Structure 1
Amino acid sequence: MDTRETEIRELLQKIPLLKNEIRKLIVGQEEVLDEIIVALLAGGHCLLEGVPGLAKTLMVKTLAQALQLSFRRIQFTPDLMPTDIVGTEILEEDHSTGKRFFKFNKGPVFANIILADEINRTPPKTQSALLEAMQEFEVTYGGQTYPLDRPFFILATQNPIEQAGTYPLPEAQLDRFLLYIKIGYPSREEELQILSGTTGSKKAVINPVVTAEEIISLQQLVREVNISDDLIAYAGELVRATRPATTAIAYVKEWVRWGAGPRAGQSLILTAKARALSRGRYAVLMEDLHAMAYPVLRHRVLMNFRAEAEQVTADEVTRTLIREIGRVN
């Protein structure tokens, strides 16, 4: 076995170690945890949605503890300003010369992992402060560009049941999130385990098991995972079929207002590669595309007013497309 194969094998062993550390505090939510790790490996960002009390914040904090990365939490509120996220210039004085100068004081966005808590509680002006950071991995202030530390991973949370005092994320910003992950209630057994494990005096210790350099190496390795031309073509057809103007599928024409753009296809292929790698495979299977289609398309397929009234969701559209398009020809 050559050195490269040994390095790859050692890197892949880090993924189950990371999951095991997170499971010390997080009970259940296996699919959610898998999708968060997929997004991390793919180098994208996540939007987490769930009712209060489902450990969204705890999951992100535990992930940060298991990684040897800097972590900052930003609590989004209606009075939060863009400078509270990006940073601002402050006037300082050189005591040796007496000259005054402006110095850029970096905001909390200058960290490896950012928890944007309740992102929909702040106005669009402040929400947009994250746009450049999410897409370009840099921040511009006063005409000067400041690169962000890598890896850079934003996990934003939002509460789906409270609408008063919230500002829905614009489609342009939604599209910047690689995955839109929905968190549901735990099962009966998982809830009993949560109740017994969190009400005593014993506290789990989370050990950092993956470094920043290892995360970057894994992200580069994801790009090298093989995917066949047939599966690439299938991913393209799946995304194109979400567009009511060009699709032949009646279900889409009936319920969808706008379909997904090319970025959805890129995200689908990249996350399928990350999912394959997280399972120790070096080639994408159809099951990877099917599994990642839901969190990839969930926020990129816009339903029409009738669908919203009758509670037809983007997940149902994706399920129908997978069934209609079928297997690769």
Structure 2
Amino acid sequence: MSQASDPAGYFAEQYTAVHGNVSGALTGKPDAIRLALTCFFAGGHLLVEDVPGVGKTTLAKSIAASIDADWHRIQFTPDLLPSDITGSTVYDQHSGEFSFRPGPTFAHLVLADEINRASPKTQSALLEVMEERQVTVDGRSYPVPVPFLVVATQNPVDLEGTYRLPEAQLDRFLLRISIGYPDVDDERDLLLGRSRTGTAARLTPVTTVEQIRWMIEYVQQVHVAEQIADYVARIAAATRADPRLQLGVSPRGSLALLRAAQSWAATDGRGYVVPDDVRAVAVAALAHRLLVRPQAEIEGVHPADILRDVLETVPVPVPEVAGRR
């Protein structure tokens, strides 16, 4: 199967290989892995938010280990400085000149572990590089490798010694996902040593950075019918009109939802988007972009709940009209 003769089949084949490899280190979580890879192949940044010990870092390291590419891990701490992320200009005594020393962001994949434990100033150092794919130091811009993807993890429960991510930075993440606790059978296998969970370091690459570049480009070519675009726009408009929300989905959020739906369709071996693709990624793509009004928050309303209500009320285009081909 080749890229030219059957691009949809080739993409699905590569996706299956990476998914199977990652599953070898994180068993029992196929949905979380698929969402993570959907984000990865869409060329977006991923935020993994969950309690400690469920495999957030293992997921990110497994994806990195499955690709023959450069990757760096940054452990975020309160004393981390912006220059520790982006790099800095240093003086070379031998040459008598200043030279730029790249930071860990100069890699194809960057694991930002416990991102909310760094100060807002340090967190903001990621803003430009996540959006513009470049770093500016002392007035000079330095492009990062292509593709460039950030996988960040954070614990939403333990707030001591943490700094909440601002909306502007949350908006840079294409998807936000949770892994969740394993079910009883998977946890029993883990306790008895039958599971390989946590062995990301033993994984070997199953694809190359060149293939990943092609897959990201292919996702952008997945067909989107006018009715599908209209469906996404109506979902965004419904969030803006919902009285429980202070801030609805922005046009950037709509674009993120559509790009994630294209990637989800590609992982299913299709070269076109259907409404079910949009619905499958809607919560992961949009929930972190919504701001709930204080009264609704007091009542225990969550953005994901509102999105599910919106998806139930917005009319779904029928497959024949959705541009299936």
Amino acid at match of 2:163: Y
Give the root-mean-square deviation of aligned CA atoms.
1.9
Instruction: Name the residue aligned to 1:283.
Output: 272
Bigger radius of gyration among the two: 1
SS in 2 for 1:178: strand
The whole-number CA distance in structure 2 between the counterparts of 1:91 and 1:109 is 21
Sequence identity (%): 37
Tell me the alpha carbon deviations over residues 228-276 of structure 1, each in whole angstroms, 9 at most, x when there is no partner: 1111101001011111xxx2xxxx21x2111110011101111100000
Instruction: Name the residue aligned to 2:180.
Output: 184
In structure 2, the CA distance between the partners of 1:198 and 1:166, relative to structure 1 (3 Å rule), is farther
1:40-59 equivalent positions in 2, closer than 5 A: 40-59=40-59
Pairing 1:222–2:211 present: no
SS in 2 for 1:32: helix
Instruction: Name the residue aligned to 2:248.
Output: 259
Is the 8 Å Cα contact of residues 55 and 179 (structure 2) preserved in structure 1?
Answer: no
Instruction: Name the residue aligned to 1:21.
Output: 21
Deviation of 1:198 after TM superposition, in Å, equals 6.7
Deviation of 1:3 after TM superposition, in Å, equals 7.0
SS in 2 for 1:15: helix
Deviation of 1:194 after TM superposition, in Å, equals 2.1
Tell me the alpha carbon deviations over residues 167-208 of structure 1, each in whole angstroms, 9 at most, x when there is no partner: 1011011101001112211111121122223789x9684121
Deviation of 1:23 after TM superposition, in Å, equals 1.2
**TM-score after normalising by structure 2:** 0.93
Tell me the alpha carbon deviations over residues 114-143 of structure 1, each in whole angstroms, 9 at most, x when there is no partner: 111111111111000000110000101011
1:83-94 equivalent positions in 2, closer than 5 A: 83-94=83-94
The whole-number CA distance in structure 1 between the counterparts of 2:292 and 2:227 is 29
Instruction: Name the residue aligned to 1:5.
Output: 5
Tell me the alpha carbon deviations over residues 6-46 of structure 1, each in whole angstroms, 9 at most, x when there is no partner: 56543431110111111111111211111110111110001
User: Which residue, out of 304, 309, 313, partners 1:315?
Assistant: 304
The whole-number CA distance in structure 1 between the counterparts of 2:37 and 2:203 is 17
Pairing 1:171–2:167 present: yes
1:102-251 equivalent positions in 2, closer than 5 A: 102-197=98-193, 205-243=202-240, 247=241
**TM-score after normalising by structure 1:** 0.92
The whole-number CA distance in structure 1 between the counterparts of 2:229 and 2:8 is 25
Is the 8 Å Cα contact of residues 11 and 214 (structure 1) preserved in structure 2?
Answer: no
Amino acid at match of 1:237: R
1:71-90 equivalent positions in 2, closer than 5 A: 71-90=71-90
The whole-number CA distance in structure 2 between the counterparts of 1:6 and 1:240 is 37
Instruction: Name the residue aligned to 1:35.
Output: 35
In structure 2, the CA distance between the partners of 1:138 and 1:203, relative to structure 1 (3 Å rule), is closer
For structure 2, the residue ranges without an aligned partner over 5 or more in a row are 319-325
In structure 2, the CA distance between the partners of 1:84 and 1:285, relative to structure 1 (3 Å rule), is same
The whole-number CA distance in structure 1 between the counterparts of 2:151 and 2:199 is 25
* Count of equivalent residues: 316
The whole-number CA distance in structure 2 between the counterparts of 1:6 and 1:261 is 35
